[in-house]
Amino acid sequence: MQLTSGHFVVDAHRIFCIGRNYRAHAREMNSEVPSEPVVFMKSPSCLLAVGEDIHFPAHGQELHHEAEVVVLIGKEGRAQTDTEAYSFVAGITLGLDLTLRDVQKKLKQKGLPWEKSKSFEDSAPIGKFSECDAAVNLEALEFYCRVNGAIRQQGNTADLIFPIPTLIVALSKIWILKPGDLIYTGTPAGVGPLKVGDEVSLQSELFGSFTWKIVP
């Protein structure tokens, strides 16, 4: 998928996802608050544009929404400091880290990787990017997730355990970041089930509103 931010277009390269990056979400999942970022990955083929249908995956029963702020990396390199990390951010939007919770629980119990529960088709719906300029405060982005019009999640990046610049520096210690890399920065509390026929919307004052429908 090609991603547009401001005046340029890039191809999605990698999707880095951050787990348990809000304390309230860690508590609702009965998980420890991490001492360093929890990183897993999705394939770029999981991305789903605004307005396209989310097909309910056939290999699970409990499909959960996880609303997140998503960062688009715009240049290649490694960020050494939080200050330098800002120069890597080309765009910002909202996305869903869709999760098959029943499948994830079984995999976690066996100590197995999560891909079957996280990296399936249509599991990374993504909104349209806004350019990240000086007016965008990465530390105070408020957003909402609604299902059939009712608010399910309300988040603010001010509550991130590991703020966006910190995540970029942490990832840079392992990977050389490249244009088109995406960072799903973590979900706030309130994750919950989706069923066929539901409409799920992500909204913020900065980004606008993005909606998808769940189909068989």
Question: pLDDT (tens digit, 9 = 90+) per residue, 58-107?
Answer: 999 999 999 999 999 999 999 999 999 999 999 999 999 999 999 999 99
pLDDT of residue 57: 98
Lookup result for tokens 């603010």: 156
pTM of the model: 0.96
What pLDDT, on a 0 to 100 scale, did the predictor assign at position 126? Answer: 97
Answer yes or no: is pLDDT of 8 > 70.
Answer: no
Residues 85, 169 contacting (CB under 8 angstroms): yes
Measure the CA–CA gap between 173 and 182, rounded to whole angstroms: 16
**What does the mean pLDDT of the chain come to?**
94
Which domains does the chain show, CATH number per domain? 2-215 (3.90.850.10)
Q: Cα separation of 201 and 110, whole Å?
A: 33
Question: Smallest Cα–Cα separation from 156: which of 187, 115, 131, 181?
Answer: 187
Mean pLDDT value across residues 8-25: 89
Query: Cα-flanking dihedrals φ and ψ of residue 103, to 5°?
Result: -70, -40
Q: Which residues pair with 202 in a beta bridge?
A: 145, 210
Q: What is the CA radius of gyration of the chain?
A: 16
Q: What is the pLDDT of residues 159-199, one digit of tens each?
A: 999 999 999 999 999 999 999 999 999 999 999 999 999 99
The confidence score (pLDDT) of residue 119 equals 98
